[in-house]
With several copies, the nearest count.
Chain A
Amino acid sequence: MEKIISKEALSEFLKDGMTLMIGGFLANGTPESLIDFLIEKNVKDLVIICNDTGFPDKGIGRLVVNRQVKKVITSHIGTNSETGRQMNAGEIEVQLIPQGTLVEKIRAAGSGLGGFLTPTGIGTMVEEGKEKILVDGKTYLLELPIKADLALLKGSKVDEKGNIWYNKSTRNFNPVMATAADLVVVEAEEIVKAGEIDPSNVVTPGIFVDYIVKGRG
């Protein structure tokens, strides 16, 4: 199975209103070339699951600025004033989730778990509408899985089988998002032959990756 494709071949998978996970943390480890392509194709009404909405000119923020986003499910929007402005104007829906809970919800979906109990958010607005469960005298929130139609990742080195290695802090949400979407596309900074990444150093096994696109670098 050939996984390396051109960006253009992704067109058939893009649909207005779809739910995306996009890797990165304040645009570090975010697949900018794939975002370029979303902008070029101008897919609309996207629901985006992401750590943060980046900056107006960098990362996921560019999709917000271009008004392609209906809703973001995220932990932080403070670095992109446009997200806040659209939220206050009622133009975008923002669902804020504590970062550790967000990443764990994605992991639960990818790992076949029905949910998990976290102490985070107890006694705050975050607990509203959630089931509380007492374990060993301590109260936890039951948090549920969250998944996506399509995950867009950024890998530093990707082999032709889709195995991914991430350099330094670019890893962040990318590996967990690889497990929790129906279709997974990775933007590769560098594409290498199978075996060039030491199998003991692979972070995301290639079985999670459907397609590989060479990034603009």
Chain B
Amino acid sequence: MDIRDRIAKRVAKELRDGDVVNLGIGLPTMVANFIPDDVEIHLQSENGFIGMGPIAGEAEVDKDLVNAGGIYVTAKRGAAFFDSTMSFSIIRGGHVDVTVLGALQVDKEGNLANWMIPGKLVPGMGGAMDLVVGAKRVIVAMEHTAKGRAKILEKCTLPLTAKGEVDLIITEMGVMEVTQGGLVLREIASDITIEDIKNATEAELIIDENLKIMEVAE
């Protein structure tokens, strides 16, 4: 199983029946592929609807229906469209149960940096700042390192998206929870050691005394 699929699959286990969920572009979008049939989640698309379905097949393309990445998608039965004010009332108002986003950096205090690299990459924050502040639960889903460099840090160095809002970090190496006491490793991938993940993480990892093996089996 592809690394990214593994991460997405593990994230999917965090979603509960009835949850309103916003999935960021890229890896987070893949989470939708792993939601069990008996769990109904409501995907919110910040450009203005709830009840997003899969990417549109060629025959399903509707020029008036795109997701927040500008991709033609479908809408489920019972979907609802709205304008951007309502979209962010939903987001900032605490009506999104879970948001899943990628990160350039995340740190042990739950700070997140995912919107710019000064002098290099300045795409803008889009709706990310509102989502991270407003969602009840913020899950960072990403590959553990970038070209061998740690992304889970003692303290983010890039401009922040939000301060202290991240709840959970899920990578191919493990599941880490941001707590008052620090970053706690709750689950670890079956094919690595605690030493491996510590080496790949700049932030100090507190090892849960009930540390579990991360369920990513196919």
Contact = CB atoms under 8 A, between A and B. Distances in A.
B146 interface: no
Interface in A138-173: 156, 159-161, 163, 166-173
Interface residues of A, number: 67
A203 interface: yes
A51 B88 CA distance: 13
Contacts, number: 200
Contacts of B81: 166, 168-169, 171, 199-200, 202
Interface residues of B, number: 59
B122 interface: yes
Interface string B164-176: 1000000000000
A77 B47 contact: no
B47 A28 contact: yes
Contacts of A174: 83
Nearest to B131: A100
Contact of B84 (A156, A173, A179): A173
A10 interface: no
A99 interface: yes
B123 A207 contact: no
A194 B93 CA distance: 25
Interface string A117-130: 01111111110000
Interface of B: 17-18, 20, 40, 42, 44-51, 62, 64-70, 75, 77-95, 111, 122-130, 133-134, 159-164
Given A112-B133, A206-B50, 6 more contacts: A52-B126, A77-B122, A104-B88, A123-B111, A179-B89, A202-B81
21 contacts: A26-B66, A26-B70, A75-B126, A78-B126, A84-B123, A96-B125, A99-B130, A100-B91, A101-B129, A110-B89, A119-B134, A124-B160, A168-B65, A169-B48, A179-B89, A199-B75, A199-B79, A202-B80, A205-B86, A205-B90, A207-B44
